[in-house]
Amino acid sequence: MTADQKQPNRGFPKHFLWGAATAAHQVEGDNHNQWTVWELENAKAKAAQADFHLHDYPTWDKIRVEANMPENYVSGELADHYHRYKEDFDFLEKMNMNAYRFSVEWSRIEPKEGTWNSEAIAHYKDYLEELRRRDIEPVVTLLHFTLPVWFAEMGGFEKRKNVKYFVRYAEKIMSELGNSIRFIITINEPEVYGFESYYLQNWPPNKSSLFKVWRVGVNQAVAHRKAAKVLHSLNRRYRIGIAKNTVYFFPGDSAWVSRLSANLFQFFQDDYFIRKYIKHSDFLGVNYYQSARLLGYRVHNSEKLDYSDVDWPLAPADIEYALERLSRKYKKPLMITENGLADADDEHREWWIKETIIGMQKALKGGVDLIGYFHWSLMDNFEWAYGKWPRFGLIAIDYKTGKRTLRPSAAWFGRVIKKLKD
């Protein structure tokens, strides 16, 4: 069945959430957190190393100029979403969306330890009010990779005794933002944060220690558990989860090594982490960007696949298998909290979304309790270590003028959502 066929709801539940996602640091502009400090310290070096790291990307000719500029690696003002959110929410309406995932920036709420910034709190209250006015269901993320500088300086999640600061912030912000919210994501991709920051040396604090990856992982799981408990005591109706980055691993042949490797890769990608969180979660957020085919003990994807601008293989249909596996194993409602691709020319996005919709329909038909889909991202944004050149947005941003333009694939997606909701 294709997404365009005219059948009622086409297999999607009545209150299915159709939306897009962002994260504060990637869109707001003018933040001050551990990332902004790191950006300023590293921008020149990153620009100088771009040729070395990125020259074999399929898009290298297109991205070369931007990737060689230090400004690319400094988030700065971005598209000033912090002030222009109403305009950006107009686009959600234009695309017929009924949901939006965003993150609250902890460093704005608590710029100094124990000091709450009432202006920032008022800002997020107004932000939510604007969504409500438009009948858009908010999904709030409390931590999306960025930490207040004071928290990072005291060791962040490396130290168990610091967990209490996150829990206190979670309680404070949710008691302020209150009861109109149903869905809360405590932590976005805890394991990605651990590896990028404490092993791969791509993100602050740029350490390389497997012990620290493990320790930060354990402390984040404790932070989730404690925050979930406190938040549920504020409001039993909150539905709390994490957003987990998944990759679907599958054997490319019937050899036992390929099958064993696919299982092992899957376990260390997903289950090793999810089992720490799932008992204390009401749903599981799934961020799906790619799958990987194992031949023997190596990833060897099909030569037929296309690649996104950040060189990720494009296999959107495999989302079906990822959803079916997670649903079978964890028996919780699933929400696709991120899904999308870097595609500056909007060459593959429409096809990607179409394949994803079909994958979701198949998963739903197979009994998966899928409650929503959030495209990453509502708008072009700051893509962490890569900086500003990757273009993940349904809305294209001109960073010089701040001009927003709906990409053609997004206008198409909006029309499809309307049909799927009818």
Q: How far is CA 256 from the centre of its chain?
A: 34
Classify strands 99-103 and 17-21 as parallel, antiparallel or unpaired.
Answer: parallel
**Binding status of residue 23 toward ligand BGC by CB under 6 A:** yes
Give least dist CB 43 to ligand BGC, A.
18
Neighbours of 158 (CB within 10 A): 18
**Binding status of residue 188 toward ligand BGC by CB under 6 A:** yes
Residue count at the site for ligand BGC (CB under 6 A)?
10
Tokens of 379: 């708008």
What CA–CA distances, in Å, run from 53 to 57, 64, 65, 385?
9, 11, 14, 12
SS3 of residue 56 by DSSP? coil
Give least dist CB 145 to ligand BGC, A.
6
What is the contact mask toward ligand BGC in residues 214 to 233, using x (rule: CB under 6 A)? --------------------
- Reported as type and span, the H/E element at residue 106 is helix 106-109
* Residue ranges in 250-309 that form contacts with ligand BGC under rule CB under 6 A: 287
| 66 HSE (CA, 13 A, CB side) | 18
Give least dist CB 22 to ligand BGC, A.
9
C-alpha Rg value of the chain to the nearest Å: 20
Q: Tally DSSP H helices, then E strands, for the chain.
A: 15, 11
Stretch that binds ligand BGC, among 152-160, 184-192, 269-277, 401-409 (CB under 6 A): 184-192
**Binding status of residue 338 toward ligand BGC by CB under 6 A:** yes
Stretch that binds ligand BGC, among 121-129, 188-196, 298-306, 398-406 (CB under 6 A): 188-196
Binder among 157, 198, 376, 412 for ligand BGC (CB under 6 A) = 376
Nearer CB in complex with ligand BGC: 327/377: 377
Binder among 109, 192, 363, 417 for ligand BGC (CB under 6 A) = 192
Tokens of 94: 């234009």
Give least dist CB 383 to ligand BGC, A.
5
Nearer CB in complex with ligand BGC: 21/167: 21
Cβ burial 220-252 (10 Å sphere, 16+ → b, else e):
bbbbbbbbbeebbeeeeebbbbbbbbbbbbbbb
Give least dist CB 244 to ligand BGC, A.
10
Binder among 245, 290, 327, 361 for ligand BGC (CB under 6 A) = 245
224 beta partners = none
* 168 CB burial (10 A radius; 0-12, 13-18, 19+): middle
What CA–CA distances, in Å, run from 204 to 175, 182, 196, 250, 302?
30, 32, 8, 32, 34
Identify the DSSP state of 347.
S
In 229-278, which ranges are E strands? 239-251
* Residue ranges in 71-130 that form contacts with ligand BGC under rule CB under 6 A: none
**Binding status of residue 352 toward ligand BGC by CB under 6 A:** no
Stretch that binds ligand BGC, among 114-122, 124-132, 186-194, 210-218 (CB under 6 A): 186-194
Neighbours of 162 (CB within 10 A): 17
Nearer CB in complex with ligand BGC: 152/364: 152
Stretch that binds ligand BGC, among 156-164, 187-195, 352-360, 396-404 (CB under 6 A): 187-195
Give least dist CB 291 to ligand BGC, A.
15
Cβ burial 199-209 (10 Å sphere, 16+ → b, else e):
beeebbbebee
**Binding status of residue 383 toward ligand BGC by CB under 6 A:** yes
Give least dist CB 266 to ligand BGC, A.
18
Give residues in contact with ligand BGC (CB under 6 A).
23, 26, 188-189, 192, 245, 287, 338, 376, 383
